[in-house]
Structure 1
């Protein structure tokens, strides 16, 4: 059955209580798995995110926020808003996902 499989928000590259990257990921299981041409088209034509297929055929979109050097709360909010309001809806349309 098609659906939004997982949404992840995680910190990476962490040392001594500081992390270097904040990543947002959303994975979709579809009745028809997008082909690599569709995934590559997303990666070629879009900025600030990347798409890939995993071993189970789940199609993912991810975006990273670089935290090295510090980041403001406003920058984190803008990152979250960009993912939720632009990247995610555009990606769902791109892969033919209907909520």
Structure 2
């Protein structure tokens, strides 16, 4: 093998061995439209609307459970640095300690019971500064996997 061909082969091998570069999220976080587009790109439904308290949210579903993404730490540009996945059920009567047991043994969804038997599961993430699309993808995988387990834990 001639020297230039050997050098090119070695350079390609070195490039192939490098880890893939993470794709940074936009500075300041994400807009609701970007989150909706991201979810749709992963095959999820995504509808943007305002809730009864005037919060703009993105609604989706997985494994037969409807859930929302709420936006926090939003700047004037509409970019938000923190997101919260949330799912709720109404009219549940859980055994004492069910949610405490869940919260003690699980990291990625915290559960609580609100008034009139409403049960909520929530998962918060920061997407700025320093967030990546890969991190966001991973949070979605964690949310949907843990949500299925949470649903079972509360008997739904």
TM range (shorter): 0.7 to 0.9
Contact kept? 2:90, 2:119, Cα under 8 Å: yes
Write the deviation string for residues 34-71 of structure 1: whole angstroms up to 9, x where unpaired. 14410111111111220011112111110011123131
Give how far 1:20 is off.
2.3
Which one scores higher on RCO, CA 8 angstroms, separation ≥ 6? 1
Q: Which runs of 5+ in 1 are unaligned?
A: none
Extract structure 1 runs of 4+ deviating beyond 2 A: 15-18
1:40-51 aligned at under 5 Å gives the runs 40-51=100-111
TM-score normalised to structure 2 length = 0.53
| Corresponding residue of 2:84 | 23
Q: What is the alpha-carbon root mean square deviation over aligned residues?
A: 1.9
SS at match of 1:56: helix
TM-score normalised to structure 1 length = 0.80
1:1-99 aligned at under 5 Å gives the runs 7-17=67-77, 18-30=79-91, 32-84=92-144, 86-97=145-156
Higher strand share: 1
The structure number with the bigger radius of gyration is: 2
Contact kept? 1:34, 1:95, Cα under 8 Å: yes
